Amino acid sequence: MGMAGQPAAEAAHEDVDIADFDLTAVPDGYIADPYRYFAALRRNSPIHRNPDGSYLLSRYDDLTTVYRDPKTWSSGKKVEFKPKFGDSPLYEHHTTSVVFTDPPDHKRIRGLFQAAFTRAALEALKPRIESLVDQYLDELEDRRTMNVVDDFSFKLPIEVVCDMLGVPGEDRMLIRDWALAILTALEPKLSQAQFDTGNRAVTDFKAYLRDLVAHRRAHPTDGSDGEILTALMNAEEDGEKLTELELLHQCIFMLNAGHETSTNMISHGVHEMLRRPDQVQRLRDDPSLIESCVEEILRYQAPIQINNRRATMDTELSGVPLPAGTQVNLLIASGNRDPEQFPYPDTFDIGRRPNRHLSFGLGIHVCAGNSLARIEGVIAFGKLFRRFPTLHLIGPAVIANRIRFREVTDLPVAI
Ligand code: HEM
């Protein structure tokens, strides 16, 4: 790994006590720095039994073993969500969307998805992404300060994914609120109010999309602008199509999956870079580092920190027997800092290669939007740091009190 111009490797994490570590009741200080808990888990309890009976997997190799074996490790959520969500709209959504289905349904839905998610559709989006980023930066030209989240990172991903599904500009705040409500229902601990808001969001979102699909049916497009809704509606593989209900849930999922994650990638990226002016300078000196820079940002602060799987049969991991039905939490953000896979894992190095981080997952469910997210990152960071070379932090980043999604809510900088 190229260490030229690097900050000294950060001090090894002090051991924190993780004997009673509970993901549903994390200790104070976890949100500020989950990574020291992960380091202790990897070292002292790599297959950690959580008090709720699920297990936390923190080592890179155990995560990849699970991701690569969908037969043993199911993504289906029916067993887990039935008691939690009952017969609710949230249950319907989270058991129908592609990410929570198993083969053979998964293969069919993902195939139809990919038929719409073509290279040509992505290429068609690139000029649009460039002009959007230019426009946001133009708007900042005369400003002295900004909140990176509201004034920059939040704007692009939601525009892009709404463009892809043909959602008109004026409705984008609605989508943001629904998405937040639906994804918040996936947090390990859920209040009654969050449950109610999540259910209302699914119902309203479905009704909204039903109208959008009807409109698109009456006015189809040729997709040359990167819109894929028509292609999704028409998608067919081996004579199989999505049912309308499936189509609506995939659209909801895509609108959710496609914006919060990328927004957080951009916010974290700006933060991690500005904490290290030498890395910003390094990128300016060598713009060809932009791609590995985006990968390092993704590795260092995984926007999705946890994925889940359930054992379909009796099995074992690293010698620990796990009976059928065992739920596992795949700590992506821990795998990304495993020193067995990443030398100096806590050092942020925009030239790091190889960098096989797990931020997009792995295997059959690997993020369908990973190319799009990478394009967004390359264009957003490339243009931002070129345009505003004196950008610097003027206050601390505020991280939301959420476990699954690592969200920056405030990031004040001077331009
Ligand atoms: C930085 C941004 C993103 C991150 C970190 C991210 C992360 C992930 C992860 C970890 C998974 C795997 C879930 C699992 O295996 O259980 C996933 C799946 C998925 N993502 Fe992303 N994602 C991002 C952006 C996007 C975008 C922009 C889109 C679409 C517009 C998207 C669409 C999807 C879809 C459709 C799946 C489900 C694939 C399947 O189950 O086969 N993602 N994503």
Q: What is the pLDDT of residues 176-186, one digit of tens each?
A: 899 889 988 88
Averaged over 16-24, what is the pLDDT?
Answer: 93
Q: What percent of the chain has pLDDT over 90?
A: 74
- pLDDT over 80 at 230, yes or no: yes
Report how far ligand 1's centroid is from the alpha carbon of 324 (Å): 27
Test site for ligand 1: of 367, 378, 407, most ligand atoms within 8 A of the Cβ: 367
Measuring from atom 19 of ligand 1, which residue has the nearest CA? 367
pLDDT of residue 237: 65
The pTM (predicted TM-score) of the whole model is 0.93
In-domain check, residue 18? no
Give the pLDDT band (50/70/90) at residue 236.
low
Give the pLDDT band (50/70/90) at residue 225.
confident
Measuring from atom 27 of ligand 1, which residue has the nearest CA? 258
Report how far ligand 1's centroid is from the alpha carbon of 141 (Å): 33
Cis? peptide before 188, omega within 30° of 0: no
Among 5-19, 204-218, 325-339, name the most confident range: 325-339
Residues whose CB falls within 8 Å of the CB of residue 99, separated by 6 or more in sequence, listed in order = 75, 253, 257, 365
Look at the block and give the residue holding tokens 């896979």: 341
Averaged over 256-278, what is the pLDDT?
Answer: 95
Report how far ligand 1's centroid is from the alpha carbon of 369 (Å): 6
Test site for ligand 1: of 295, 370, 375, 407, most ligand atoms within 8 A of the Cβ: 370
- Give me the CATH number covering residue 120: 1.10.630.10
Measuring from atom 6 of ligand 1, which residue has the nearest CA? 360
Q: Report d(CA 251, CA 228) in Å as an integer.
A: 10
Give the pLDDT band (50/70/90) at residue 13.
low
Helix axes 89-96, 78-85, angle to 10 degrees: 170
Q: Report d(CA 242, CA 209) in Å as an integer.
A: 15
Q: Report d(CA 155, CA 173) in Å as an integer.
A: 11
In 3-state terms, what secondary structure has residue 145? strand
Measuring from atom 43 of ligand 1, which residue has the nearest CA? 367
Averaged over 89-97, what is the pLDDT?
Answer: 93
| Helix, strand, coil % in the chain, rounded to nearest 5 | 50, 10, 40
Residues whose CB falls within 8 Å of the CB of residue 263, separated by 6 or more in sequence, listed in order = 149, 153, 154, 156, 157, 158
- pLDDT over 80 at 240, yes or no: no
Report how far ligand 1's centroid is from the alpha carbon of 253 (Å): 9
Average pLDDT, the chain: 92
In-domain check, residue 250? yes
Q: How far apart are the first and last CA of the chain?
A: 32
The domain total for the chain is 1
In-domain check, residue 2? no
- pLDDT over 60 at 4, yes or no: no
- pLDDT over 90 at 263, yes or no: yes
pLDDT of residue 14: 67
pLDDT of residue 7: 37
Q: Ligand 1 pocket: which residues have CB below 6 Å? A: 75, 98-99, 110, 161, 254, 257-258, 261-262, 265, 303-304, 307, 359-361, 365, 367-369, 372-373
**pLDDT digits over 25-69, tens only?**
999 999 999 999 999 999 999 999 999 999 999 999 999 999 999
Measuring from atom 1 of ligand 1, which residue has the nearest CA? 262
pLDDT of residue 12: 60
Expressed as residue numbers, the domain containing 316 is 34-414
Write 213-216 long-range contacts (CB < 8 A, 24+): 213/244, 213/247, 213/248, 213/251, 216/166
